[in-house]
Structures are given as C-alpha cells and as structure tokens.
C-alpha cells in the first residue's frame, strides 16, 4: 500500500461518504444515519479469537447503546459471506446472536478510514469511530491487532460526548466515577476577569478555573 493513500479522519471532520455492503444489506454512510449517533468499529479478521470476544462484548452492550440512540456497525476486509458464516458460528457455539450489521470493506474504504496501517500488515487494525448526528467524527481510537478493546469505555465515551453536548460542559477523567468530583461535570473556564471573579460564587470548585456542578 502506498503511503500517500493513507488517511486518518480527524476529530471534527465530516465522516467520509461510503457505500457499504453489510450483512443487513447496502448501507450508505453517513447519509442513512444522518441525525443520529453511530459507532463504526473495524476488526482485523473474522474467525479470530480476539475479534470474537469483541463482537460478543459489543452485542452484550447493544441495549445500552440503543438507549443512547446509537447504531453499532462492525467492519473488516472480509467478504460479507464470511461475516455471515462467522456470526452463524458465534450463535451456534457461543449462544450469542449478533444483531448489528457487519460491513465488508475493500482497500479503498479501509484506506479512507485509516484502517490499514502499513506497519501492521494487510488486515484492518481495531479502529473505533464515534460519529454524531451532524455526521462529524467526534472520537477516534486505534488499537493494535493483539489487544482487544474495552466496550465499556466506548459506551462511556459516547455517554460523555452526549452529556457534554447537551449541557455545554466537560467531563472529568474516569467519569462518572472521578476520584475528585465523582459524577459531576466541569464548567468551561472563565474567559474574562469579571467571570473569573464571580465564578466561585456561582459554582462549587477548587479555583475559578476548576469549577464543577451536578447534572
């Protein structure tokens, strides 16, 4: 693969326009999901142990993602018939039915999303893209092939983004279980001397630049 063809979507970018063949039919992204959140995650290959554990993990959290109005979409460079056979195996052997679509990515699609890293072989890396209702890329995570993802963290990140957007706040580390302020959220820093002087009268905090509140 030529290096000049390699592109990684950046935070705030429009999600690239893609037509995907999936286990549930043709899907046009982001158009088909305009107005809602979605998580697109790639995996190196079907019928591999780590990827199988990830798919079971994402399926287990499907109800939680659905509560947030989030669509899950899996993807690898395997063909759709391979995806279908794999999810049949997962249902038969592990008793878990995969209900989210799995897309077949060709090299062009994989390159558009930065899923083929030249130093990591020909399989797609474990990429995660969180896209908002305006089709903007809001979070990108890349994992190497040898490390499985933490689905709880993906879910937490989506919740945090939605809370931040709705309330015009930031969320602390390990939210909602932060060591300092627990499930409270952080107020945007003051932008003027006047705001700084009154900030601690309006909110709880350690200083005018570190104030927080309950949701």
Single out the residue of 31, 6, 8 nearest to residue 18, CA to CA.
Answer: 31
Q: Is residue 126 a known part of a binding site?
A: yes
**37-42 vs 70-76, strand pairing mode:** parallel
Helix (H) / strand (E) element for 165: namely helix 151-167
d(CA 169, CA 175): 13
The sheet with strand 185-186 has its strands ordered as 185-186, 210-213, 204-207
- Is 72 in contact with 41 (CB distance < 8 Å)? yes
- Is 74 in contact with 105 (CB distance < 8 Å)? no
d(CA 162, CA 199): 25
Q: Nearest 10 degrees: CA dihedral of 130, 136, 142, 147?
A: 10
d(CA 82, CA 84): 5
- Is 30 in contact with 130 (CB distance < 8 Å)? no
What are the counts of helices (DSSP H) followed by strands (DSSP E) for the chain? 6, 10
* Given 51, 112, 151, 187, the catalytic residue: 51
Annotated catalytic residue 211: no
**Residues classed as catalytic:** 51
- Which parts are annotated binding residues? 126
- Which parts are annotated binding residues for substrate? 126
């Amino acid at each position: 693969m030529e290096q000049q063809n390699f592109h990684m979507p950046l935070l705030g970018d429009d999600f690239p326009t893609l037509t995907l063949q999936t286990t549930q039919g043709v899907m046009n992204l982001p158009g088909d999901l305009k107005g809602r959140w979605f998580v697109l995650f790639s995996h190196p290959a079907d019928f591999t142990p780590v990827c199988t554990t990830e798919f079971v993990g994402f399926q287990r959290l499907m109800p939680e993602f659905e509560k947030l109005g989030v669509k899950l979409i899996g993807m690898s460079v395997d063909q759709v018939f391979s995806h279908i056979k794999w999810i049949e195996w997962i249902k038969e052997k592990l008793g878990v039915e995969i209900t989210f679509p799995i897309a077949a990515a060709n090299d062009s699609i994989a390159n558009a999303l930065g899923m083929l890293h030249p130093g990591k072989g020909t399989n797609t890396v474990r990429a995660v893209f969180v896209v908002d209702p305006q089709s903007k890329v809001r979070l990108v995570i890349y994992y190497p092939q040898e490390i499985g993802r933490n689905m709880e963290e993906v879910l937490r990140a989506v919740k945090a983004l939605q809370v931040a957007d709705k309330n015009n706040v930031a969320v602390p580390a390990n939210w909602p279980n932060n060591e300092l302020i627990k499930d409270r959220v952080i107020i945007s820093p003051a932008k003027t001397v006047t705001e700084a002087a009154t900030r601690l009268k309006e909110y709880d905090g350690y200083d005018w630049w570190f104030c927080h509140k309950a949701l």
